[in-house]
A and B are shown apart, each in its own frame.
Chain A
Amino acid sequence: DIQMTQSPSSLSASVGDRVTITCRASQVISNYLAWFQQKPGKAPKSLIYAASTLQSGVPSRFSGSGSGTDFTLTISSLQPEDFATYYCQQYNSYPRTFGQGTMVEIK
């Protein structure tokens, strides 16, 4: 199985900050990497697929990059509604696997 490792597990940031979350796969997954956002008590929301393509309606302050085994999610200017938990997931093969999540909290 492909292991997905996210870092950090949590971070504190202020509105307007640039935030970067990393995700590392235990083997090459090309660009078959997605990012999801989950707010407390809500279902996850799909943000990015194919490592860098924004889902429809996702603000442009979100961006993704990477290929192979190393990926990043960047929020260029953190907004109040961005405080949430973020997960990466590989869909290169089954079983699908998620990172453990990164909680973005208000500083």
Chain B
Amino acid sequence: QVQLVESGGGLVKPGGSLRLSCAASGFTFSDYYMSWIRQAPGKGLEWVSSISSGGSTRYYADSVRGRFTISRDNAKNSLYLQMNSLGAEDTALYYCVKDGRSATTSIRDWGQGTLVTVSS
């Protein structure tokens, strides 16, 4: 079955950087769009970024554009999110999600999330 396991979260100071990883298994990773979605404590879901199956097309929320970079390594079945210039507003649980095979397909599966806390 599909497994998405996030790692790399932790406590970081404002202005710092962090790199999240997501190890995928149970499906042909290179066939699917992938995304990151976050949830601040006690708040709703916020889409962060998506990447096409081959990695050539990337999409970002305005709130993270220019600070975050999504990438993938299809040979390693892994998704990444490089986060720079972090601020308190980036404190959240970050979920790795498996989309579909095109830009107009829905989320199918979710990881369990990795917590990012930005605090001095």
Contact = CB atoms under 8 A, between A and B. Distances in A.
A95 B46 CA distance: 10
Chain B binding surface SS class:
loop
Interface in B19-48: 35, 44-47
Contacts of A39: none
Nearest to A44: B110
B44 A96 contact: no
B112 A44 contact: no
B109 A46 contact: yes
Given A100-B44, A101-B44, A46 B107 contact: yes
Interface string B64-94: 0000000000000000000000000000000
Interface residues of B, number: 22
A8 B63 CA distance: 27
B45 A46 contact: no
A98 B111 contact: no
A22 to B, nearest CB: 16
A34 B44 contact: no
B107 to A, nearest CB: 6
B106 A34 contact: yes
The 4 nearest A-B residue pairs measured at CB: A49-B106, A96-B47, A94-B59, A34-B106
28 contacts: A1-B62, A32-B104, A34-B106, A34-B107, A36-B107, A38-B45, A43-B95, A43-B113, A44-B45, A46-B106, A46-B107, A46-B109, A46-B110, A49-B106, A50-B106, A89-B47, A89-B106, A89-B107, A91-B104, A95-B47, A95-B61, A96-B47, A96-B50, A98-B44, A98-B45, A100-B44, A101-B44, A101-B45
